[in-house]
Structure 1
């Protein structure tokens, strides 16, 4: 609990960002289901929270939207999870001798106690999420030299802060004095907090599985039967986490800057292929878990659909959904200096043709009533404690 208490404070503190202006909670806020309510987020340089977050102005304004949708954080502390990020670029592995295959490769430090702890370190190194723009601070300068070189600077910030140094000594057996605090303890503290704060296993669906036959309404029960039967949702959304932790191509409408590779000539996102370099992984993204999914809109790796009804209909007929999708359906903060590139990929015939070749969804016919039942079942996955968590939002972070 002591480690989680430190992680709680750090999660809402801007001390971990290059310019000391962005916290983890700006993109993962409980008021928006531990996401941010946007299709593509406004990271470093932004002002405010959620859909009301603005892109800043002057020299500190944002240079780019965050390329992918901010995922919810529910149940990320589960032991069954072995892969993180939409493209799986972080996973458990012995490849580099530190327990993980990650963008930091052998430079990821030893001692991180979970894949969630390792994941917590990477937004700190991302220019448009927390690190800041070139020339603005020492963190981004160090990261651009090598990805791991910003972490010791952040660790020094934290351990020399009187709020944190003594707290780490008390909470960690490996820390005898504040000078011993490294990015490893910081990552482990953040993971301890997230695993405790956003554990969700008390939904009506969970009560039904435990034997409470009345936990689901008739519509929710019908939706569950469709989910595990005719609609075949459980083909991918399987197991206790409602995810197979694998990668699938859904053919979502592409927009935004994309998480491009260094040699990509334009704004596109090839998904899992960016990690594996295998053509068969092109445009595939990790299956999301579904606990509290009704709280975490918009949906998809780029937040293309604002409603559960919309993303379900896309699963049923991706071609028809893509044909009817319009840019106003994306929940994007208006940014005048980025607007010209927001939807440029939709006009690229060759890229759209490439994406059309990667589809893992076969069309299915469901009635309007059946679609409504599936939506009802998604609401049955919302936990009772989702809005009454252990630590809550610090008073000093509230607007």
Structure 2
């Protein structure tokens, strides 16, 4: 194992026997005690079961194309449990898919339509996983445009008010706790209003986000003259809401509300708790739960720069492995871009704050189950976990990034400005380092150290997320009349 300058704890361990296998557990113990790790990020949290009535209703809403304004897309089109709670694409394809039932790498965009199709995907950022949604306390989205004003550990954003976008990302409004129950519920309000994700480009009279949300409520109720659904479908939705909210006699106006819809979706997402991983078992005394290679990777991960480590823990903090803060890490810029000035760059948090100092800042993702949540980066620029780790160790290598490593159909047409745009992000990172804004340093680790860190990251994978039989409870039963009436998307994977 290659090490840099060693001091402090690492020097002590070397003095009392070096880095031999017999000392790995002791060294990890010192590090994990330093950071107060227990292996259980869900301790003290209220986590629903997927069999709870409200979560079961949420699953039906999550899979239903009735929440796509043009009824050609569902939440699950980009967030499937079998695909790590995402879509296994660098950049998503929401509305106007060639085959709306196809989810994952085979999903293609029509070469006709109204979404400014250029040959590649139309959504500019990688799909975040819905797994462990119940563990976030501060923010949602890559640019944290939904954020808790008074974050409380373990509350999942359920205490106090949330700051959310108005009719644009930078038009900020407050939602009180009575309007929305938690961070996942707040997030569920927004994909349905994004033209590329779920809104589509018809219904020009719906000029605000609230107008779209209200229309969808009216659709499920059959209210205000909305006749998108037939009487059988409306009856099925009313029955589903009665069961979900354990109120067998309430009418549609009482039960089918915006808050109830997003609360139910949130409960389904919050039920996707996957934290029973080898690292958890290791920290609870099962020393053989992870390999010696992974143990060496853990030491690199948690050790400071001065101790010869990668200091990943400075941002991937705690048992949830994220500080939920935003940082510039200069992930190569691919895709259509997302900004307020019409270029092909993604400005990240600046799109929310309109502060140039926030340019290229993105939220630290959790590393739980990271093995199955690729491609990685805010735009899915890296298609292997090894490549993502190498970038994080030394972002300067992004100057030589090769988009030809991408596998997604049509995406290269959106990479013509990748080199120059990535260089701009690298320059911002260097400015942040020079000014002390960024604590990140580059380290010269070789392939062996990268393999060790990747081996450690794989110990954060709950085995359930790799087994369809285990994940089946988060997929609805399609062999029912109800599933047909609710138009549940039966994904072709």
* Counterpart check, 1:25 vs 2:76: yes
Displacement after TM superposition at 1:350 (Å): 8.3
Matches within 5 A, 1:1-399: 1-46=52-97, 47=99, 48-59=102-113, 63=117, 65-78=122-135, 80-93=136-149, 99-104=161-166, 105-106=172-173, 110-133=178-201, 136=202, 138=203, 141-142=205-206, 145-160=207-222, 161-172=234-245, 176-180=250-254, 181-196=256-271, 198-229=272-303, 230-261=309-340, 264-319=341-396, 321-334=397-410, 340-347=413-420, 351=424, 355=428, 357=431, 360=438, 361-386=440-465, 387=467, 388-389=470-471, 391-394=473-476, 396=478, 397-399=490-492
Aligned to 2:210, what secondary structure does the other structure show?
helix
Task: Assess if the C-alpha contact under 8 Å between 1:345 and 1:351 holds in 2.
Answer: no
Structure 1: gaps (5+ residues)? none
Aligned to 1:211, what secondary structure does the other structure show?
coil
| Change in CA separation of 1:315 and 1:305 when aligned onto 2, cut-off 3 Å | same
| Change in CA separation of 1:17 and 1:108 when aligned onto 2, cut-off 3 Å | farther
Partner Cα distance (1:37, 1:371) in 2: 23
Task: Assess if the C-alpha contact under 8 Å between 1:38 and 1:333 holds in 2.
Answer: no
Partner Cα distance (2:182, 2:377) in 1: 25
Aligned to 1:91, what secondary structure does the other structure show?
strand
Displacement after TM superposition at 1:32 (Å): 1.6
Partner Cα distance (1:101, 1:291) in 2: 26
Structure 2: gaps (5+ residues)? 1-51, 151-158, 167-171, 223-233, 304-308, 479-489
Give CA deviations for 1:249-303 in whole Å, capped at 9, x if unaligned.
1111112111122xx1311111112112223221110000011100011100011
Task: Assess if the C-alpha contact under 8 Å between 1:298 and 1:331 holds in 2.
Answer: no
Displacement after TM superposition at 1:8 (Å): 0.6
Partner Cα distance (1:106, 1:247) in 2: 20
Give CA deviations for 1:93-145 in whole Å, capped at 9, x if unaligned.
38xx9821101344858432111101011000000000002xx2x3x641xx2
Which moves more between the two structures, 59-68 or 120-129? 59-68
Partner Cα distance (2:113, 2:354) in 1: 36
Task: Assess if the C-alpha contact under 8 Å between 2:54 and 2:264 holds in 1.
Answer: yes
Give CA deviations for 1:194-244 in whole Å, capped at 9, x if unaligned.
111x20110001111222222111111111111111111111000121000
TM-score (norm 1): 0.89
Aligned to 1:59, what secondary structure does the other structure show?
coil
Displacement after TM superposition at 1:342 (Å): 3.7
Aligned to 2:279, what secondary structure does the other structure show?
helix
Task: Assess if the C-alpha contact under 8 Å between 2:315 and 2:364 holds in 1.
Answer: yes
Displacement after TM superposition at 1:328 (Å): 1.0
Partner Cα distance (1:83, 1:375) in 2: 26
| Change in CA separation of 1:62 and 1:51 when aligned onto 2, cut-off 3 Å | farther
Give CA deviations for 1:13-37 in whole Å, capped at 9, x if unaligned.
1110111000111111122211111
Displacement after TM superposition at 1:358 (Å): 5.0
Give RMSD over aligned pairs: 2.4
Larger Rg: 2
Aligned to 1:52, what secondary structure does the other structure show?
coil
Aligned to 2:338, what secondary structure does the other structure show?
coil
